[in-house]
Structure 1
Amino acid sequence: MSALPPIAELAAGSSDALTGALAVLFEPSPTLAAHLTPQVSARLQHTPVATYAALVDAALAAIAAWDDAPKARFIAGHPRIGEVKHLSALSAREQAAAATPPAVLARLRHLNACYEQRYPGLIYITFVNGRSRTAIMYEMEDVLGLERSLSATEPEVSSLAAVEVGGQEWRGELERAVQDVGRIAKSRLASLGVQ
């Protein structure tokens, strides 16, 4: 059974139902409830959707029109890579916590701190799609230009220079993260057996 109500119920239903459905697909956050739900609800009044995939597309179109700050707050609603507590059921399944060695989890915590030092105001989001946390660790090291390691302390976080918030590199990471959030949402539809 799906964690999502029939799509027809969202167009005519309450904003609570829409917020709940969007939270399943995108992760709950204050930005989702305060900004995304009202914008998607307004779109549904003018252009109803027949599928959840179309709802995800409508949500992504709304997000695309946002300024950088709400986009960054929105992606921050997703858990950090490697977190094992306070995950939604779908995030836990996507990140496959049980099979990850403790050294990889420690490295991921450190890489998250490094990423957040380099890209102030952003958290690292990626479409996991069944990849191991070790593979994601390597991906994060590549994004940060770091050598392969299992160190939970090297390089020193403060040694990483921050990119300019709102600059080209920072915005590129923000847009990549938003695209991956969309890919995650569509993958969740497939895992829930919903179109």
Structure 2
Amino acid sequence: MTSLPPIETIDESQIGHILRTLLESNIPFDPLLPAGNPGFVSYTELLDAALAQVATWSVSTRAKFIAGHPRIGETKNLSVLSAKEQGATPTVAPTPPEVLARLAHLNACYERRYSGLRYITFVNGRSRAEIAREMEDVLGLPHSLSPDQPPVEEITVIKPETDAWTSELDRAVVDVGRIAHSRLGAMKIQESQSSALN
């Protein structure tokens, strides 16, 4: 697919590709086109239908959905959209190595606390240093550039599927939706300019 086709012409296979791009999900969606294929009137409607479907998934499936997303601060194997959103493109000033090291440590701390999840946030133009401070606040840690403090093994574990863990899962799913809507807005601009869908 080289550009977003008119919404009324898409079929189930194209829906899958578009949703994988918007949501960075390898979990297949059940058919979103009803029998007779009246289709969607907008890509926003399509995305909202997909997010409504995510809300019906079991806790374990939603956790797999979240765990499939790249970690904040990763610099390799990112999709084109993730790289741009995380400021990992050549047009953005590179993130200092100490911030990347801190983010790697914070990801490890977060994944100890919330086993099976990854920290997801709607970056929305913020720097990786700002996101590191946000992660520290979420984890209740002091702001620092330490690559190894506090020790990961000292992080309190929240058991999977408890109320606190599920609340964090729900928050992450909401932020995936915010990211996807932002991506969709960017793609609509690309559509009008006949740019490629990556």
Per the TM superposition, whether the score is higher than 0.5 is yes
Shift in Å at residue 48 of structure 1? 2.8
Aligned-residue CA RMSD (Å): 1.8
Aligned to 1:56: 47
Whole-angstrom CA distance in 2 between matches of 1:146 and 1:121: 21
Aligned to 1:19: 16
Identify the match of residue 172 of structure 2 among 172, 177, 183.
177
Shift in Å at residue 164 of structure 1? 1.6
Q: TM-score scaled to structure 2, two decimals?
A: 0.87
2:159 is the counterpart of 1:161: no
Aligned residues: 184
Aligned to 2:128: 133
The aligned amino acid for 2:127 is S
| Structure possessing the higher relative contact order (Cα contacts under 8 Å, 6 or more residues apart) | 2
Whole-angstrom CA distance in 1 between matches of 2:97 and 2:3: 31
Q: Aligned ranges for residues 31-180 of structure 1 at < 5 Å?
A: 31=27, 33=28, 36=29, 39=30, 41=31, 43-45=32-34, 48-97=39-88, 98-180=93-175
Q: 1:142-177, CA deviations, whole angstroms, 9 ceiling, x for partnerless residues?
A: 000000111111111111121021111101110000
Aligned to 2:194: none
Whole-angstrom CA distance in 2 between matches of 1:45 and 1:192: 25
Aligned to 1:7: 7
Aligned to 1:186: 181
Whole-angstrom CA distance in 2 between matches of 1:177 and 1:145: 18
In structure 2, runs of 5+ residues without a counterpart are: 192-198
Whole-angstrom CA distance in 2 between matches of 1:146 and 1:165: 21
Give every structure 1 segment of 4 or more consecutive aligned residues whose post-TM-superposition deviation is greater than 2 Å: 1-6
Q: Is the 8 A contact 1:2 1:193 kept in 2?
A: no
Shift in Å at residue 60 of structure 1? 0.7
Q: 1:115-144, CA deviations, whole angstroms, 9 ceiling, x for partnerless residues?
A: 000001100000000011011000000000
Shift in Å at residue 17 of structure 1? 1.6
Shift in Å at residue 3 of structure 1? 4.2
The aligned amino acid for 2:72 is I
Whole-angstrom CA distance in 2 between matches of 1:145 and 1:99: 27
Specify the SS of the correspondent of 1:45.
Answer: coil
Specify the SS of the correspondent of 1:150.
Answer: coil
Q: TM-score scaled to structure 1, two decimals?
A: 0.88
Whole-angstrom CA distance in 1 between matches of 2:159 and 2:44: 34
